[in-house]
Structure 1
Amino acid sequence: MSKTLVVVSPDADTLAATVAARLAIKIIDAQAERGSASIVLTGGRIAAKVLATLKDLPAGKAIDWPHVELWWGDERFLPAGDPDRNETQARAALLDALPLDPARVHAMPASDGPDGDDASAAAARYARELVTGGADLPSFDVLMLGVGEDGHVASLFPGHPVLNETGTTAATFNSPKPPPTRITLTMPTIQTADEVWLVAAGPDKTKSVGAALNGDKSLPAAHATGTSRTLWLLDGPAAADVAAS
């Protein structure tokens, strides 16, 4: 059974440093065990801060970056290099400074990619990439998620039809948050990760974080769980409505 752990840092900067340190250790441990690590990245302001912090972290020097497999939990379906794409933000914050193996960096397709503006075809392409060389999904060591003000994770929004998708990936249309078209891992795929980390900072996340952790199952964030462990990594304001255990 998955264990849920809530870790609260006093502020966003300390939270970013905490998450970056945890991520470095998780990667190092996975590589010591198997020779590689598989990480699913997320977008948003706190995610960018985590990656930027990891770049200067001493423990990062112990990571064998060419043997890190990188995936994304969701992506805004925009042209390659668009500043609003999660990939673009991750590259600017950290990835472009690392000796990564390009074949192990699995960005979600862009709207000017091989499938053009067909988001459903692009989502299907990413689903095929996930299972290349085998019938099973990768063993995600850590799958990181931001938590939206409305309790959404990845591009899975409360009450949205995409929540019912049972495939590996899906296209999200008419998203309540711009841009309207996105690509996302589905909830069943998210739930295959060894550890799911939900990272949230700021008073705008207080209500959704508190509701999800206090049992509101209408929120997608309440269903994002890892197979072995689920970590809620929060700053003080985001955790203000979390009931004491």
Structure 2
Amino acid sequence: MSDETIQPYRSLAELHQAAADAFCECAEQSLASRGVFRVALSGGSTPKRLYEMLAERSLNWERIHWFLGDERNVPLDSLDSNYRMICETLLEPARAPDENIHPVFVDLQNPAAAAETYEKTLRTHFPDQTMPAWDLVLLGMGDDSHTASLFPGTAALDETERWFVANWVEKLACFRYTLTAPAINSAKERWFLVAGKNKKQAIASVLRGERSPSHHPSQMIETTRMFVTEDAWTSNE
């Protein structure tokens, strides 16, 4: 990740507009060249409006497959569920076909088993591949520099073979489900959406701080594009 990938936007509305346009262009290119568009979506607050905007676009919904980059270990109908938010803002309003939607079926008692099941789901869509060849993975960045559910100091940061794991996050005292860094980096496009002045230090640490993925997991991602608001951006000065 380098400064050349940064495109600061004056407002969150401008960021969402640019990201929506870029998403649709990426989808159209993938559909034209491969006949399918496979995307892993992010949870969190920043992409919520983006999803609402995408639901109003004219996309070939029949040929787009939707996956999750990470999930919380809560029932799918929980207010904390990434899947629920994505369904309510994007998939249900767009009437995306059910067979194209691939949620993480969480297991509150056995998160490891649920993660293994989801990895099997991914492998059916990306057969005979070392890592999934996503067309696009959408990512956020926490103020602690985490991305997806790859949190500082957690075991998932050391994973090199698995695609999807249950990751114990000590500071949250819970398991999170997440794509591993290699599974994210296998995507053709890897985009960060980052907004808010509370993300300034995280971006500065990830882009220009000492390389330390155990402290700044977002450094592990070989991003192709970053959508960031000006209030989250820290200049070189």
TM-score, scaled to structure 1: 0.88
Structure 2 unaligned spans of 5+: none
Which residue pairs with 1:135 in the alignment?
Answer: 128
Across the two proteins, how many residue pairs are aligned to each other?
230
Matched, 1:91 2:90: no
| CA positional deviation for 1:204 | 0.9
Q: 2:115 matched to which residue of 1? A: 123
- Matched ranges for 1:105-116 at <5 A: 105-111=101-107
Aligned residue number for residue 211 of structure 2: 217
2:72 aligns to what? 76
Change (3 A) 1:161 1:207: same
What is the DSSP-based 3-state SS (H/G/I as helix, E as strand, rest coil) of the residue aligned with 1:232? strand
Cα RMSD (Å): 1.9
Q: Which residue of 1 aligns with 2:171?
A: 176
Structure 2: distance between partners of 1:164 and 1:199: 24
**Cα pair 1:39 1:140 within 8 Å, conserved:** yes
How far residue 20 of structure 1 moved from its aligned partner, in angstroms, is 1.1
Alignment correspondent of 2:231: 237
Identify the residue that residue 28 of structure 2 maps to in structure 1: 28
Distance 1:73 1:237, change over 3 A: same
Cα deviation digits, residues 139-171 of structure 1 (max 9, x gap)? 211101100000000111112222112211111
Give the fraction of aligned pairs with identical amino acids, expressed as a percent.
27
| Post-superposition CA distance 1:74-102 (Å, at most 9, x none) | 00010121111111001111110123222
Counterpart of 2:53? 53
TM-score (norm 2): 0.91
Secondary structure of the corresponding residue to residue 138 of structure 2: strand
Matched with 1:196 is 190
SS in 2 for 1:181: strand
- C-alpha separation in 2, matches of 1:201 and 1:175: 25
Per-residue CA deviation, residues 15-35 of structure 1 (Å, 9 max, x unaligned), is 111111110111011111121
Structure 2 Cα separation of the partners of residues 143 and 53 of structure 1: 18
Q: Using the TM superposition, give the Cα deviation of residue 174 of structure 1 relative to its aligned residue in structure 2, in angstroms.
A: 3.2
Residue 105 of structure 2 aligns with an amino acid whose one-letter code is P
In structure 2, relative to structure 1, the CA distance for the partners of 1:195 and 1:100 (3 Å cut) is same
Q: Tell me the secondary structure at the aligned position of residue 78 of structure 2.
A: coil
Deviation at 1:138, TM superposition (A): 3.8
Query: For residues 96 and 140 of structure 1, what CA distance do their matches in structure 2 show?
Result: 22
Partners of 1:217 and 1:242 lie apart in 2 by 18
* Structure 1 stretch displaced more, 96-105 or 20-29: 96-105
